[in-house]
Amino acid sequence: MITKLCPIDDGSLKEAAEILKGGGVVGMPTETVYGLAASAFDQEAVKSIFAAKGRPGDNPLIVHICREADLYPLIRGEITREQRMLMDAFWPGPMTLIFDKSDRVCPAVTAGLDTVAVRMPSHPGARALIRRSGLPLAAPSANLSGKPSPTTAQRTLEDMDGRIPLILDGGACQVGVESTVIDARHGVAHILRPGGVTPDMVKAALVDVELDKSLMRPLEKGEKAASPGMKYKHYAPKGDMTIYRGDRERVAKAICAAYDQWGDGALILCKTGDMALFGGRHCVDMGESTGDVARNLFDALRDADDMGARRIFATAVEETGVGLAVMNRMARAAAFRIVDV
C-alpha cells in the first residue's frame, strides 16, 4: 500500500472522509499528538487500527467527536455534574472523559470494557475530518505500539508508511503530549493519565481532583491499571534513559560524571537555560519552558533513536502544570529510572 501525505484542503478532507466511511484508517492531526482514525461504529475498521499499530487488543481507544450532540449515541446514563463542568471548561481541547458506554460503540474500541473514553479535539483539521465523515472516530496515537507518539505528519509517516492509505498533514502538534484522561463518573475528577489539561486547571473549573496512584510509579505485581494503557511499557527510545532530579547544578554535575564514564553514544536532554552547564557535551535543546519540553519530548526521543544514542540522560522538570504529564511520559521512557541528587 502506498501511503499519501496530504496538506489539509477540501480535496484531501473529502478523500479521507470517503476512506473512513468505507471502513479504512486515516492518519489525523490533533492538538496533542497525531492519531490513527477509523469509525467507532465499524468493528472491522477498528481492528485494522490495532493491526496497523501492532497494539495489544486489551488496550482501549479514545473516540473523537466534534460537537456535544455526537456524545449521546456513544454513552448510557446521566452526565454527572462534574463531567458537565469539565466538558464546559475543556472541550474542545486536550481532555478525554470516561463514560458508561452504549451498545453502538463496537467492542473492539473499548477492548470489551463497559466504559468508553471520549474526547472533543480542538485541532481544526481533526474537527473538519470528523464533521466531513459524519462519524465518531476511534483513534489511538499514530505510533507503532511501544514507540513515542508522533507529533508531526512526517513522524507519523515513518511509522505508518505502507500500513494506511492517507495521512493528513496538520503541522506540528501544539500540546505535544496526549490528552488528560479523567474518570469523573463518581463526583471527583480522577486523573488516569495526566496531559494538556492540568490538575490546577481542573481545580480552577471548580472540580475536585484526585491523581491515580500509579501515575509516577510502575504498577505493582497483580495491581490492576485504572487505565489499561498505563500497564504497558510506553514511549520507549532504543537507548537506556535515566532522569536526574534535584538542584540544577547538582543534576548537571551528576549527569556530566555519568556521561563521561559512558562516552560515545551518550546524549543529554535539557532545557535551553541549562545547556551551558554541560560544557559542550552532546545535548538536545528541549526549549525554554516546560510547555516547550512537552512539545519537543517525543520528537527528541525519536531523534535520539535516529542518532543511535545508546545512553540518554534527561534533566527532570517540575511536576507542576503540564510538567506532571511530561514527567509521567519521561518516567515511562526511562523505565522509571529516576536518580534524586
Beta bridge partners of 285: 270
C-alpha grid cell, residue 327 = 514527567
Q: What residue is closest to ligand TXA based on CB? A: 229
Q: Cα angle at 217 between 213 and 219, to 5 degrees?
A: 80
Task: Report the nearest approach of ligand TXA to the CB of residue 249 (Å).
Answer: 35
- Find which of ligand TXA, Mg ion, none residue 145 binds, CB within 5 to 8 Å per kind: none
- 204 DSSP assignment: H
Q: How far is the CA of 211 from the CAs of 6, 195, 214, 241, 274, in angstroms?
A: 39, 12, 8, 25, 30
Task: Report the nearest approach of Mg ion to the CB of residue 233 (Å).
Answer: 12
Give how many residues touch Mg ion by CB under 5 A: 1
Of residues 129 and 284, the one with the C-beta less far from ligand TXA: 129
- Find which of ligand TXA, Mg ion, none residue 296 binds, CB within 5 to 8 Å per kind: none
Of residues 183 and 274, the one with the C-beta less far from ligand TXA: 183
For residues 65 and 130, is the Cβ–Cβ distance under 8 A? yes
Strands (E), the chain: 4-7, 26-28, 35-39, 62-64, 95-100, 115-119, 137-138, 166-169, 180-183, 189-193, 209-211, 240-245, 266-270, 283-285, 311-315, 338-340
Task: Report the nearest approach of ligand TXA to the CB of residue 95 (Å).
Answer: 9
Task: Report the nearest approach of ligand TXA to the CB of residue 314 (Å).
Answer: 21
Of residues 138 and 251, the one with the C-beta less far from Mg ion: 138
Residue 30 contacts Mg ion per CB under 5 A: no
Residue 141 contacts Mg ion per CB under 5 A: yes
- Find which of ligand TXA, Mg ion, none residue 193 binds, CB within 5 to 8 Å per kind: ligand TXA
For residues 165 and 184, is the Cβ–Cβ distance under 8 A? no
Q: Which helix (H) or strand (E) holds 258?
A: helix 248-262
Contacting residues toward ligand TXA, per CB under 6 A: 30, 32-33, 35, 59-62, 94, 96, 98, 110, 113, 115-117, 119, 139-141, 178-179, 181, 192-193, 227-230
Cis-peptide into 73, omega within 30 deg: no
Task: Report the nearest approach of ligand TXA to the CB of residue 287 (Å).
Answer: 20
Stretch near Mg ion under the rule CB under 5 A, chosen from 88-96, 139-147, 294-302, 308-316: 139-147
Of residues 13 and 167, the one with the C-beta less far from Mg ion: 167
Draw the binding track, 274-313, toward Mg ion (x: CB under 5 A; -: no contact): ----------------------------------------
Q: At what angle do helices 10-21 and 124-133 cross, to 10 degrees?
A: 50
Of residues 32 and 83, the one with the C-beta less far from ligand TXA: 32
Residue 240 has φ and ψ, to the nearest 5°, of -75, 130
- Count Cβ atoms below 10 Å from residue 188 Cβ, excluding itself: 16
* Separation between Cα atoms, residue 47 and residue 241, nearest integer Å: 33
Task: Report the nearest approach of Mg ion to the CB of residue 53 (Å).
Answer: 8
